[in-house]
């Protein structure tokens, strides 16, 4: 079966040049193939597009009408091709970005005005949730993920380290004492993050390689780190959270770092991930480079 789009292009070229052979030479195609394309078009449409004689070829009235319509189609296709090609080189269009709630609200959203000033032709559609989204199925251009990545089919760029801290409010430590060893946590009200296997509601993992596993318990568990942070600041208990959530409270003194006999775990990192593409759109590349420039090698929340 002959390609319909190529048939349109052949038809337009024949009409412009008034010759089957000239159109063939211009398109790098044999006259026989040109004739086949025109014949296929006429058969499908049920009309004659050209009057042919041994000396002359002229377009019919039906051909002129069809030429006008096909010219619009070809022009729109050229415009679409140009737009897609331009997207590869110039950041523009809507960037659909997904990020975890706390990280997105605390660390991504405040940077968006600066990115908008630098890239005025890009608008950001920011979605915040803590579940693992399907980029292809849900139509996200880019997602931020924290910790070790499990889906190897995606392209990932590390944009920041992800350190953690055990902390509590001064009022809690004054009332209940300060734990010195990880074993001491069993005697404290530990507020757990339900979406994590390493700093969760029933066990906290310590050590550079996560080799120390400690059972914990407490009277609050939540699926959002900011909720735990707020409870800790109010003096309810001890939390074990990424520093991007608690750094401002530590600087303000509303939370205090608890130094134990085993170091806290460092998550695998914070990553920007996108679907496999040898040439991702310029808007995706631009946003990733923007984040790397702000967060690497030392993210602002971890700076003294």
- Coil, strand, or helix at residue 154? coil
Query: How far apart are alpha carbons 304 and 86 in whole angstroms?
Result: 42
Angle at 53 between CA 47 and CA 58, to 5 degrees: 55
- Alpha carbon of 304 to those of 31, 50, 69, 250: distances in Å? 75, 79, 66, 11
pLDDT for the residue numbered 268: 83
Tokens of 180: 């010195």
Residue 251 has pLDDT above 90, yes or no: yes
Query: Residue 144: which of 41, 273, 45 has the closest Cα?
Result: 273
CB 136 within 8 A of CB 274: no
Query: Residue 24: which of 14, 39, 38, 36 has the closest Cα?
Result: 14
pLDDT for the residue numbered 12: 87
Query: Residue 215: which of 228, 225, 195, 201 has the closest Cα?
Result: 201
pLDDT for the residue numbered 81: 65
Ranges of H-type helices in the chain: 4-17, 20-27, 31-45, 61-89, 101-103, 112-118, 135-138, 170-176, 225-233, 243-252, 282-295
Question: Quick one: which H or E segment has residue 93?
Answer: strand 93-99
| pTM, rounded to two decimals | 0.71
Residue 274 has pLDDT above 90, yes or no: yes
Residue 52 bridge partners (DSSP)? 57
* Phi/psi at 4 (5° precision): -65, -40
DSSP result, 39-68: HHHHHHHTS--EEE-SS-EEE-HHHHHHHH
pLDDT for the residue numbered 102: 96
Residue 115 has pLDDT above 60, yes or no: yes
User: Mean per-residue pLDDT for 244-267?
Assistant: 96
Whether cis (ω within 30° of 0) applies to the bond prior to 19 is no
Percent above pLDDT 70 for the chain = 95
Query: Residue 267: which of 103, 123, 38, 63 has the closest Cα?
Result: 103
Which domains are seen in the chain, by residue range?
4-89 (1.10.10.10), 98-160+270-302 (3.40.190.10), 164-265 (3.40.190.10)
Query: How far apart are alpha carbons 48 and 63 in whole angstroms?
Result: 7
Is residue 73 very low, low, confident or very high in pLDDT (cuts 50, 70, 90)? confident
Residue 149 has pLDDT above 90, yes or no: no
pLDDT for the residue numbered 220: 97
103-106 LR contacts (CB < 8 Å, sep 24+): 103/144, 103/146, 103/242, 103/244, 103/245, 103/270, 104/128, 104/144, 105/226, 106/226, 106/244, 106/245, 106/301
Is residue 287 very low, low, confident or very high in pLDDT (cuts 50, 70, 90)? very high
pLDDT for the residue numbered 42: 86
Residue 131 has pLDDT above 60, yes or no: yes
pLDDT for the residue numbered 300: 95
CB neighbour list of residue 138: distance below 8 Å, 6 or more residues apart? 98
- Over residues 226-241, the pLDDT tens digits come to 999 999 999 999 999 9
pLDDT for the residue numbered 117: 96
Average of per-residue pLDDT values in the chain: 90
DSSP result, 212-252: EEEE---S-EES-HHHHHHHHHTTS-BEEEEHHHHHHHHHH
């Amino acid at each position: 079966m002959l390609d319909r789009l190529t048939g349109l292009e052949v038809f337009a070229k024949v009409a412009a040049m008034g010759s089957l052979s000239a159109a063939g030479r211009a398109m790098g195609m044999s006259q026989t193939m040109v004739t086949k394309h025109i014949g296929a078009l006429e058969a499908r449409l049920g009309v004659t597009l050209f009057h042919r004689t041994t000396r002359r070829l002229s377009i019919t009235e039906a051909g002129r009408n069809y030429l006008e319509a096909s010219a619009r189609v070809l022009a729109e296709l050229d415009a679409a091709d140009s737009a897609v090609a331009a997207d590869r080189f110039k950041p523009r269009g809507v960037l659909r970005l997904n990020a975890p709630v706390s990280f997105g609200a605390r660390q991504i959203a405040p940077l968006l005005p600066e990115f908008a000033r630098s890239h005025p032709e890009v608008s950001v559609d920011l979605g915040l949730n803590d579940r693992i989204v399907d980029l292809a199925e849900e139509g996200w251009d880019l997602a931020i993920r924290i910790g070790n990545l499990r889906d190897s089919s995606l392209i990932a760029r590390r944009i920041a380290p992800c350190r953690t801290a055990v902390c509590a409010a001064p009022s809690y430590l004054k009332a209940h004492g300060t734990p010195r060893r990880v074993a001491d946590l069993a005697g404290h009200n530990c507020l757990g993050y339900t979406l994590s296997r390493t700093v969760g509601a029933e066990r906290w993992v310590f050590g550079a390689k996560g080799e120390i596993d400690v059972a914990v318990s407490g009277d609050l568990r939540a699926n959002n780190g900011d909720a735990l942070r707020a409870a800790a600041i109010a003096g309810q208990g001890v939390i074990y959270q990424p520093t991007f959530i608690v750094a401002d409270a530590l600087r303000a003194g509303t939370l205090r770092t608890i130094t134990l006999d085993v170091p806290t775990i460092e998550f695998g990192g914070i990553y920007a991930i996108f679907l496999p593409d040898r040439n991702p759109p310029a808007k995706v590349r631009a946003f990733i480079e923007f984040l790397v420039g702000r967060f690497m090698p030392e993210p602002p929340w971890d700076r003294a």
